[in-house]
Chain A
């Protein structure tokens, strides 16, 4: 029995390795492989959910034009995505660039569905209308050399996407609101449905059998974790008096982050990088900020605004630092989760990228693509497996750290200080 399982695991691993290896040998012959660009492309949010190769799940795009007040609602398959998630159609001036919706800046660009050719990256994206009105010749022309000016008004640029900073870091705001169900949003919906199902079924089971056996699968799996959260995090950190009030929040944080971390670790489902998306961690940290401060006692605010027991000149220095600290604590929370998960994904992707890098080296040294990719594959397999194991630990650790630090901030806020005086 064990032998069969081992055989199967070996077969799956071999197929995975062989698939990547084949891609390295067959594809990507034009130009060198850029590890950093590929890794950043894979950890980014996207408007479609790529599974493998060119197979993807289209996701709904819901866009609101701020100037005209028009809604554009369609599935992302309408962009007719080709490799690297770049669309070949423009819809109402919206284009899909590396998986992200952007808008053509020029108002002269026609609305409706248009054939386009999108080139470039970052701020230097050029959109060219292709084949509109039977200009096949000029399309071929622009395809051959896009360096020189065509003078037909065919080339367009795109707006920057507004991101979490609200345009403060110079990115600017876009002319539309994007309510799309992206890959990250879809993953969070899955998390919501899954965790809702698990915990509501657990609650029903507890009600029905009232501390008698037999326990359901989810009860057996999660009861120790929940009791650990209650007795080892909330009770000692927040304090006997208040912990029951904050236990639901701490537990929700822990399980939500843990589920998102773990779903990002499953290979071949597109590795959604939700807890490594700074927008998500910002919102989680804002929850902690609000809950900490609206529950702050007089004792807590006294220690921030006018620290008792220190000389007046120290208070002048200390008060600004303490006020800064109120915002710095949630800031470190959000940066820690974001950076840990993103870094883990980048490292694993870089290790997989080794296959392609070694394939390129193989061509240069004359060994051939296959031999190079073989060496890279062995390295990528060993290092990737090692890193995945580490990341599994980090997934639990970061959920624990976020929960326990949130609990300790809340605990400091609700503490009335009787034990100190």
Chain B
């Protein structure tokens, strides 16, 4: 039971991160399309924000690994 619950938890974390990463990527693409000369800055900030979102999801996944193990 704990095993399947942690699997669900890990999956939910991935869904959340996926939505977040999709929004970051989409908005960054829009921004670059509107202002191609700022592409470099937007790309750098996009990567940092993506890493932060990913960090939240990874903490959830690591916690579920600890609960499982």
A357: interface (CB < 8 Å): no
Q: Are B47 and A339 in contact (CB under 8 A)?
A: no
Q: Contact between B47 and A332 (Cβ–Cβ < 8 Å)?
A: no
Q: Which of B44, B48, B52, B62 contacts A335 (CB 8 A)?
A: B62
Contact B48 A401 (CB under 8 A): yes
Complex Cα gap A126–B39 (Å): 60
- Contact check: which of B44, B51, B55, B58 meets A232 at CB < 8 Å? B44
Q: Is A315 an interface residue (CB 8 A)?
A: no
Bound-complex Cα distance A400 to B50 (A):
12
> Are B61 and A397 in contact (CB-based, < 8 A)?
no
Are B61 and A336 in contact, with the CB atoms below 8 A?
A: no
Tell me whether chain B's interface is mostly helix, strand or loop, or mixed.
helix
* A167 to B: closest C-beta gap in Å: 15
Query: Among the listed B47, B54, B56, which residue makes an inter-chain contact with A400, where contact means beta carbons less than 8 Å apart?
Result: B47
B59 and A401 within 8 A (CB): no
Q: Is A405 an interface residue (CB 8 A)?
A: yes
A202 at the interface (CB under 8 A from B): no
B57 to chain A, nearest CB (A): 9
* Interface positions of B from 9 to 59, Cβ below 8 Å from A: 44, 47-48, 51-52, 54-56, 58-59
Q: Which of A169, A332, A405 contacts B48 (CB 8 A)?
A: A405
Q: Which residues of B contact A263 (CB under 8 A)?
A: none
In the complex formed, the residue of A with least CB distance to B63 is: A335
> Complex Cα distance A208/B54, Å?
45
In the bound complex, what is the Cα–Cα distance between A400 and B59 (angstroms)?
Answer: 20
Q: Could you tell me the distance between the alpha carbons of A126 and B66 in the complex, rounded to whole angstroms?
A: 25
Asked if A339 contacts B48 (CB within 8 A), the reply is: no
A401 close to B51 (CB less than 8 A): yes
Q: Are A336 and B47 in contact (CB under 8 A)?
A: no
A250 to B33, CA, bound (A): 32
Determine if A335 and B47 form an interchain contact, defined as CB atoms under 8 angstroms apart: no
* Closest beta carbon of chain B to A238's beta carbon, Å: 14
- Kindly report which residue of chain A lies nearest to residue B40, judged by CB atoms: A232
The answer to whether B51 and A339 have CB atoms under 8 Å apart is no
B51 touching A335, Cβ below 8 Å: no
A233's nearest neighbour on chain B, judged by CB, is B44
Chain B positions within 8 Å of A339 at CB level: 58, 61-62
Contact B51 A405 (CB under 8 A): yes
CA distance A194 to B61 in the complex (A): 34
Nearest CB in chain B to that of A333: its residue? B55
A404 at interface by CB-CB < 8 Å: yes
Most B CB within 10 A of own CB, among A331, A335, A397? A335
Give residues 115-158 of A contacting B (CB, 8 Å): none
Interface centre among B51, B54, B56 (most CB of A within 10 A): B51
Smallest CB separation, A402 vs chain B (Å): 9
Chain B residue contacts of A405, Cβ below 8 A: 48, 51
Contacts of A335 in B (CB 8 A): 55, 58-59, 62
A404 contact set on B, CB distance < 8 A: 44, 47-48
Q: Is the CB of A336 within 8 A of B58?
A: yes
Q: Which residues of B contact A401 (CB under 8 A)?
A: 47-48, 51
Which residues on the A side are within 8 Å of B61 (C-beta)?
339
Give CA–CA (A331, B52) in the complex, Å.
Answer: 12
Q: Which residues of A sit under 8 angstroms from B58, Cβ to Cβ?
A: 332, 335-336, 339-340
Residues of A362-406 at the interface with B, using a CB-CB cut-off of 8 Å, are: 397, 400-401, 404-405
Complex CA distance for A154 and B51, rounded to whole angstroms: 53
Nearest-Cβ distance from residue B55 to partner chain A, whole angstroms: 4
In the complex, A332→B48 CA distance in Å? 13
| Closest B residue to A328 using CB positions | B59
Contacts of A400 in B (CB 8 A): 47
Q: What are the interface flags for A334-362 relative to B under an 8 Å C-beta threshold, 1 for contact and 0 otherwise? A: 01100110000000000000000000000
A-B pairs, top 6 by smallest CB distance, nearest first, are A332-B55, A401-B51, A339-B58, A336-B55, A335-B58, A335-B62
Sample of 14 further A-B pairs with CB below 8 A, known A332-B56, A339-B58: A332-B52, A335-B55, A335-B58, A336-B58, A339-B61, A340-B54, A340-B58, A397-B47, A401-B48, A401-B51, A404-B44, A404-B47, A404-B48, A405-B48
Q: Which A residues are closer than 8 A to B by beta carbons?
A: 169, 232, 331-333, 335-336, 339-340, 397, 400-401, 404-405, 408
Q: Would you give 6 A-B contacts (Cβ < 8 Å), ordered by A?
A: A335-B55, A335-B62, A336-B58, A340-B58, A400-B47, A401-B48
